[in-house]
Structure 1
Amino acid sequence: MVVTVNALPTPDAGQDVSICYGTSTLLNATGGVTYLWSPAAGLNDATLANPQASPTVTTTYIVNVTDNNNCSNTDNVIVTIWTLPPASAGASHDICIGNSTSLTASGGINYLWNTGDVTTTINITPTVTTTYTVTVTDGNGCSETAEAIITVNPLPIANAGSDVNICYGLSATLNATGGTTYHWSPSTGLSNPSVSNPLAFPTTATTYSVTVTDANGCSQTDDLVIGIYPAPSISFTASPLNGCEPLPVNFTDHTTPTIASWIWTFSDIISGSNTSNAQTPYHLYENSGLFDVTLSVVTTDGCTDTLTIPDMIEVYPNPTAYFLYSPSVGSIDNSVVFFQDASTLAVSWAWNFGDPASNTLNFSSVPNPTHQYSLEGTYPILLVVTSAQGCTDSTMQDVIIKPTHTFYIPNVFTPDNDGINDFFQGYGSEVSEYDMYIFNRWGQLLFESHDYNLPWNGKSADTGEAFMQDVYVYKIIIKEHDGKRKQFYGHVTLLK
């Protein structure tokens, strides 16, 4: 028996190879007619000479090569797996529309973005939410992709409110909407620039801008203008500022700018007309005292102000002229009249005694003068007094100077109706009261009269019977012009 010993085939599994994770390579064995690779994992067909290998880890593949003699031999090849690069496109994040941002890739040495950029960092300004992809290649030529999502948020709708005008010195409440946080500028004149509704106290026209930020951190600005109406500058005058009661005063307003309405208060409550709405009012102060004057105005822009001038008007009290004199009724034989001033608040006196015939003696400036009258008559006495403030008052009284008093009583009368000496009475002038009584010799009252114009006609007042011729007793009582009473007693003879 012949035993033929065949040589083993000389297999060749090929050169070791390195591939990137997730890729494949073709193995290529030679030296036989049939082949069997192991492990079979990762191979598309372990019986092929050139299967496609897709290992996930570095793998040593052994190929068993069989020739025509059915002799077998093995060889191996190492497929090394390179890990993929740790590709990163940067962090996904939000931006506000209109803003720019950047993405920076890492993990390799070469980069290719889906924007076509091949730089590590790209600057982008998306208008809608966009996914950015980068292919990262390392030194082994392995590539990996990464992506970042840029979310584009809309801007908030900022609203600072409407423009407004305020009066100088007043405030306005701002009221912004559209966000979650607010910041106003300039901050000057604001109660708090970091709230939506601060109080604004501008002293000049100011444009306030508000930056409104929403929950996404997006911001938008809006502004408003606060205009300043000028405050009224109140000024007014009065003429006169002082004087005697009653004091008429004219007021004039000089306030700027243009005034639409006025309210004057004169502090004269007693007068009954204490206020006025006129621009240039007139007021009559009827009582003495010090009076504040207040003016409140409203401009055509609606701005208001009030000014009070304390004790602006002073009304002096008038003196009160009055005097006494004696005697109450004078006569030529008692013609010196004594005057006594009884005025109040008087510091000077001007007397006119109503007696121009006395020339310069008709006047006096002393408080308690005397004057002698040379003729009977009624004299108007005028006294004008002046106070320390120059206020005056006057009064007038009549002084009566009577003629020298005479009273005549006849001692006989003849009541025979001949029209001559038919009546008995006393005769005199300036008799203010008159009482006459007639008695017989035994004291019996025969007649009485209380009227100067009712004389005795020689008859009984009761019966009308004529008395006989005889001597009768009379009693006559008179009151003279000076108030003095006189009594006269005597006898009268009735003749027939």
Structure 2
Amino acid sequence: SVGCDNVATLNLTVNNSTASTDNVGVHCDSYTWVDGVAYTASNNTATWITTNAAGCDNVATLNLTVNNSTTSTDPQTACNSYTWLDGNTYTTSNNTATWITTNAAGCDNVATLNLTIESITLSATVNNIDCYEYSTGTIDLIVIGGTPPYTYQWSNGESTQNIVDLPVGNYTVVVYDMNNCLGSNTFSVLQPDSIYIALISTPDTCERGLGMVSINTYGGQSPYTYLWSSGHDTSCVSNLYEGIVEVVIIDANQCKVTKTITINNIKSPEADFNTFPEHRRYYDQLDKPFFFIDISNTYWQDILSWNWDFDYDGISPIYDANDSIVKNSYYETGLYRVFLSIETEYHCIDTISKHVLIDEYALYIPNAFTPLTGDGLNDEFKPYGYGVVNYTMQIYNRWGEVVFESDDINRGWNGTTRDGGNIASIGVYLYYIAVEDIYGEIFKYEGKLDLLR
């Protein structure tokens, strides 16, 4: 301060900065150092300055080795399921499952599963059989999954995708794809029940077309169609006569069944009766009537009614009695037609008629006649009667000469001579008449007659 030198002496201490290397070693994928930086690659240049013990800088240099993790994909294809190295069994495709191992650099190796599960699913459109015991079933197979092409193994030996002409049954198929994965399934081909019928038939009765058939149809596929040989088209037919009738039954699937039915017949009764007797004298039958006894053959049918007409006119019977045994007397001679109508429990009717003869022998001989008078009255001499079988007549004049003869009771003497050319004289003549009656009896008559004018 006074202008003189001041000698200052330096008292200096120099401290040195320091340097260091931070050998952090080997790390995988990344490393965050003290500088807060995440290093993803090896590095030996990064530095970090701190203060050393002398108060100077300490420059630390990073010595880092970074090794990378690796990834890999494990592609697998399996049928239905696959057990991976992680011990899990996968039944569906998977590309997310991972498994970590250590790679050659000592880092993680992440293996990702790329799994394809080939599952073959089989379905089918089954067309069942239309008609019982036919072979018309089909199976149209549908394959889902797997890798084409496919091969087919059917339980019936077929090797195509679709199979046809199948009878009823179960059919199993195994399908293999190109990776030899397989799928299998069983399909059933069904059939309808057989068409069968329950029928009720009634016979014809007395050939009147009263037969009937009623059918109940089961099985197959309704509705049903009926085709009868008789022309009917319903399940119940009537008005059938004895014989064979055939029906074809067709269901909704056009399946057919044919049935032949025999229509029997309750045979018609055969009306008949005995007459005791068939021929009787008029006066005898008044005391002892005719008996009529039914002997009809009804073929095990019972008779409900008998109806008798003792004088049938051949057109409209008028019934006189209604029992199985009847009797009757007649009040005039003649040939009578006896009519019997029977009706059985099945309402079958049959009729029959027979004749009875009521007769008597009688002969009336006049004692005079007036021929050739031109009045047309009493012009012939002849007897009148009934019951005559054989007859002969001779006319004699007073001298015993035969002037007329005849063997026909309806041919009389007309008053002329035997040669037919002369008129006989008025007077008394003799007659001789011989008669055999219907009973075989012989009668002879002799007498006088007057020829008058």
Aligning the two structures, in what range does the TM-score lie when normalised by the shorter sequence?
Answer: 0.5 to 0.7
Shift of the alpha carbon at 1:247? 4.7
> Could you tell me whether the CA contact under 8 Å between 2:309 and 2:321 is conserved in 1?
yes
Shift of the alpha carbon at 1:407? 1.2
* Residue aligned with 1:281, SS: strand
> Could you tell me whether the CA contact under 8 Å between 1:353 and 1:379 is conserved in 2?
no
The yes-or-no answer on 1:332 pairing with 2:282 is yes
* Residue aligned with 2:240, SS: strand
Distance 1:344 1:473, change over 3 A: same
Shift of the alpha carbon at 1:485? 6.9
Aligned partner of 1:50 in structure 2 is none
Distance 1:438 1:110, change over 3 A: farther
Distance 2:140 2:451 in 1: 131
Residue of 321, 324, 342 corresponding to 1:363? 321
Distance 2:332 2:416 in 1: 42
Residue of 351, 364, 379 corresponding to 1:408? 364
* Residue aligned with 2:433, SS: strand
CA offsets per residue over residues 211-266 of structure 1, 9 Å max, x none?
A: 3226762446799785755654634445x56755435134344436534432447x
Aligned partner of 1:428 in structure 2 is 385
Aligned partner of 2:329 in structure 1 is 372
Residue of 213, 219, 241 corresponding to 2:176? 213
Aligned partner of 1:201 in structure 2 is 168
Residue of 251, 255, 260 corresponding to 1:303? 255
CA offsets per residue over residues 431-478 of structure 1, 9 Å max, x none?
A: 6876545466667574436361x3211214654322345634433547
Shift of the alpha carbon at 1:304? 3.3
Shift of the alpha carbon at 1:299? 0.9
Aligned partner of 2:208 in structure 1 is 246
Distance 1:180 1:217 in 2: 9
> Could you tell me whether the CA contact under 8 Å between 2:76 and 2:116 is conserved in 1?
no
User: Residue 127 of structure 2 aligns to which amino acid in structure 1?
Assistant: D
Distance 1:413 1:237 in 2: 83
Aligned partner of 2:338 in structure 1 is 381
TM-score by length of 2: 0.53
Shift of the alpha carbon at 1:427? 1.7
User: Residue 201 of structure 1 aligns to which amino acid in structure 2?
Assistant: V
Residue of 373, 391, 414 corresponding to 1:417? 373
Distance 1:156 1:435 in 2: 127
User: Residue 237 of structure 2 aligns to which amino acid in structure 1?
Assistant: P
> Could you tell me whether the CA contact under 8 Å between 2:332 and 2:358 is conserved in 1?
yes
Shift of the alpha carbon at 1:426? 0.3
Identical aligned pairs, as a percentage? 22
User: Residue 474 of structure 1 aligns to which amino acid in structure 2?
Assistant: Y
Distance 1:435 1:279, change over 3 A: farther
* Residue aligned with 2:210, SS: strand
User: Residue 262 of structure 1 aligns to which amino acid in structure 2?
Assistant: Y
The yes-or-no answer on 1:394 pairing with 2:356 is no
The yes-or-no answer on 1:464 pairing with 2:421 is yes
Shift of the alpha carbon at 1:428? 2.3
Computed over aligned residues only, the root mean square deviation of the Cα atoms, in angstroms, reads 5.3
Aligned partner of 1:54 in structure 2 is none
- Gaps in structure 2 of 5+ consecutive residues: 1-73, 87-100, 142-148, 312-318
Where do 1:178-189 residues align within 5 Å? Answer: 180-183=151-154
> Could you tell me whether the CA contact under 8 Å between 2:127 and 2:137 is conserved in 1?
no
> Could you tell me whether the CA contact under 8 Å between 1:101 and 1:125 is conserved in 2?
no
Aligned partner of 1:150 in structure 2 is none
Shift of the alpha carbon at 1:390? 7.2
* Residue aligned with 1:334, SS: helix
> Could you tell me whether the CA contact under 8 Å between 1:101 and 1:123 is conserved in 2?
no
Distance 1:249 1:259, change over 3 A: farther
Where do 1:60-459 residues align within 5 Å? Answer: 123-125=113-115, 163-167=127-131, 170-174=134-138, 180-183=151-154, 192=156, 199-201=166-168, 210-213=173-176, 217-219=180-182, 226=189, 229=192, 232=195, 234-238=197-201, 240=202, 243-255=205-217, 258-264=222-228, 276-286=232-242, 295-305=247-257, 315-335=265-285, 336-345=289-298, 350=306, 352=308, 354=310, 363=321, 365-367=323-325, 369-374=326-331, 381-385=338-342, 391-399=348-356, 401-402=358-359, 405-415=361-371, 417=373, 419=375, 421-429=378-386, 436-438=393-395, 446-448=404-406, 450=408, 452=410, 454-459=411-416
Shift of the alpha carbon at 1:182? 1.9
CA offsets per residue over residues 114-139 of structure 1, 9 Å max, x none?
A: xx9765xx754479xxxxxxxxxxxx
Aligned partner of 1:15 in structure 2 is none
Shift of the alpha carbon at 1:345? 3.5
Distance 2:415 2:77 in 1: 148
TM-score by length of 1: 0.49
Distance 2:137 2:354 in 1: 75
Distance 2:344 2:203 in 1: 18
* Residue aligned with 1:475, SS: strand
> Could you tell me whether the CA contact under 8 Å between 2:203 and 2:242 is conserved in 1?
no
**Higher mean C-alpha deviation, range 436-445 or range 253-262:** 436-445
* Residue aligned with 1:396, SS: strand
- Gaps in structure 1 of 5+ consecutive residues: 1-89, 128-153, 185-191, 266-272, 356-360
